[in-house]
Amino acid sequence: MARKVIIAGNWKMNKSGSEGKALVEDLKGRVAGYNDVDIVVCPPFTTLAAVVKAAEGSNIKVGAQNVHWADNGAFTGEISAGMLKEAGVEYAIIGHSERRQYFGETDETVNKRLKAALAAGLKPIVCIGELLDEREGGKTEAVLAKQIKAGFAGLTSADMNKIVIAYEPVWAIGTGKTATPEMAEETHAYIRKAIAGLFDGTTAEAVRIQYGGSMKADNAAELVKQPDIDGGLIGGASLKADSFADLIKNASSK
Ligand code: PGA
């Protein structure tokens, strides 16, 4: 089955409203016509409105970097799925390793956020990945299996069809160390097998699995060429229109 490549830029805590608007206006012209790739940018919350407006009428979609599980209430500093929908947001990153590392995110909170995002009609990008000592200790598959089982608990195959998985080996994020395409492919194939075990083969074949961790214009083509790698979640290389556009073009089959 052909899965459409999805390239998402995770801006993290970078770009004010005016900077985000300028980036998207520049990017729009560069990636126009690259319709075989789903292109997403995920700015900080306060930059969302400016970016949604700048992306209007283009092939660039907008995502948030987090979403809370409640509709509203006493959750200082959090944003609900309904608020994001109203702001014109289509995607939401959930469970990024920086949220897990610095903000106490667990597989259980990932699962709650995921269900709220789905209920509101957002398209979740769910991040999973192992730490360096877990990889070196031969625990990668066990770590991923646990993140998948607990993170996707209670979901149906129909839910899984709306989800994108981002496999990000934590040791490759922002370090310049990319997993080799072979290493990434091996892990992506394992993730797909785990999804088949939890749901079924058809669901596993359909789910898109992005790679993330020091993906750039010059390694994107080789990564996306792997049979189980369906795109990328990009940090550093998504912060400049020229490098991000080059990456998108290299991931495109045009
Ligand atoms: P990076 O970040 O591309 O800067 O390694 C990826 C991510 O954290 O999503």
For the stretch 4-44, pLDDT in tens is 999 999 999 999 999 999 999 999 999 999 999 999 999 99
Task: For residue 96, indicate whether it is catalytic.
Answer: yes
Query: In the prediction, which pLDDT does 176 show?
Result: 86
Q: Is the distance from the beta carbon of residue 213 to the nearest atom of ligand 1 less than 6 Å?
A: yes
The CATH number of the domain holding residue 17 is 3.20.20.70
Confidence at residue 1, expressed as pLDDT on a 0 to 100 scale: 60
The whole-number pLDDT of residue 58 equals 98
Q: What is the DSSP letter of 223?
A: H
Where the chain has pLDDT below 70, the residues are 1
Output the pTM of the full model. Answer: 0.97
The closest-lying atom of ligand 1 relative to the alpha carbon of residue 175 is 5
Residue 2: its pLDDT value, please? 87
Residue 229 near ligand 1, beta carbon < 6 Å: no
Alpha carbons 76 and 115: distance in angstroms, whole number: 20
Instruction: Tally the domains of the chain.
Output: 1
Please classify residue 133 by burial: count the beta carbons closer than 10 Å to its beta carbon, then call 0-12 exposed, 13-18 middle and 19+ buried: exposed
Residue 218 lies in domain? 5-251
